[in-house]
Structure 1
């Protein structure tokens, strides 16, 4: 096996499509409930108000720091830099492929959803979908980006970090971002849950792609052989 096959394998590789269907179904169910089940909207407002009433300065700044773990652009840049370094060392562009795919997939899916649903963030407009033109709160891009980009980073670093560290890379930022986006009032609770479902789904799509077997021109794929 070439070095390139090691650095671009997103793990674990999903086998059953039923989980993917459940994730998509859950996302669609939440979206439908936001349109036709008012108690869910009231839950969003109640969670926002509870967070607003329990946010002392120390907790705010701690949450603010942890929330920056989910910034999409810095994560994408970091992943690209690591991928380029690995590509140069292995003499193949394969490490760059999942980075480009992740950017295209997240942008291509999140962009239309956020623009199309027109939902405002807490304190910036109505809680309902399709109620505040120009607003882009649903689903949470923080969660989608966190799940996808840390999975890509873990894949790129899989040959260099222990399994437990890789698991922490994938899990800890997701948990931190999930909690802090709601606690800080950046997103409604349902924005975050929908982003979690969508992010895992997109991550599973990326993990199914056999990056080490994609045909490439010889000039772009000259890995060192053992």
Structure 2
């Protein structure tokens, strides 16, 4: 819907709002906006954050799933959002022409693929995936998860506001980027919940510990008394513990 509106009725509004606002309001803030605030939603920052979260959780839970989900998020961005940018071929606001299919990456490089905004999409999709992993694959409290979601919202608002004030995007580019990032994040979260989520990780962890227990018995090595015997049995804490754990 936003794409259809951007193609037609909202082009005049885009033209009206396309200004280098920050340069007119406070030129001294340009360096901060360009070199610090704008980069928070860029690949150089958000991708390492997601990678660290995924790797730490994968090691703790002994499962590849957090890393797989992080890879899916990155692929969704480049394939989903990236393909949309190339196909729609909209020039940046600096070109003065908000029409679609009139620019292109081969003709104008990055200035020819403005819709939807990549930074706005990354702010929602990449940081949103990191928070989903923390919520789903760690023991983070609901309060912490709620605060992290607010941080993602603030990063998204920052991305849109900075790009708009710098005059780097049409307004509809930024709205489209937020919606695109939200769409792909929603698809990833739903896929995770339907195909695995926490039960997948618990099963993988229980299987790994059970395998270690069997191997230890085969070689005459008793498991550590600190090992969680409920996880080994896979039957919950109501099951009688193994004698080595008593």
> Residues 52-201 of structure 1 correspond to what in structure 2 (within 5 A)?
54-64=24-34, 65-124=36-95, 126-134=97-105, 135-158=112-135, 159-160=139-140, 162-201=144-183
Cα distance in 1 for partners of 2:150, 2:5 equals: 33
Helix, strand or coil for the counterpart of 2:76? helix
Give the Å deviation of 1:149.
Answer: 1.0
**In terms of mean alpha carbon deviation, does 50-59 or 124-133 score higher?**
50-59
Match of 2:8 in 1: 36
Number of positions where the alignment pairs a residue of Structure 1 with one of Structure 2: 194
Which is greater in Rg? 2
Helix, strand or coil for the counterpart of 1:123? helix
Cα distance in 2 for partners of 1:157, 1:201 equals: 20
Contact 2:19 2:165 in 1 (8 A): no
Give the Å deviation of 1:73.
Answer: 4.5
Residue number among 46, 50, 74 corresponding to 2:16 in the alignment: 46
> Quick one: higher RCO (CA 8 Å, sep 6+), 1 or 2?
1
TM-score (norm 2): 0.69
Distance 1:104 1:50, change over 3 A: closer
Helix, strand or coil for the counterpart of 2:3? helix
Give the Å deviation of 1:101.
Answer: 1.1
TM-score (norm 1): 0.75
Q: Which has the higher helix share?
A: 2
Tell me, which stretches of 5 or more residues in structure 2 are unaligned? 106-111, 210-227, 232-236, 238-246
**In terms of mean alpha carbon deviation, does 94-103 or 159-168 score higher?**
159-168
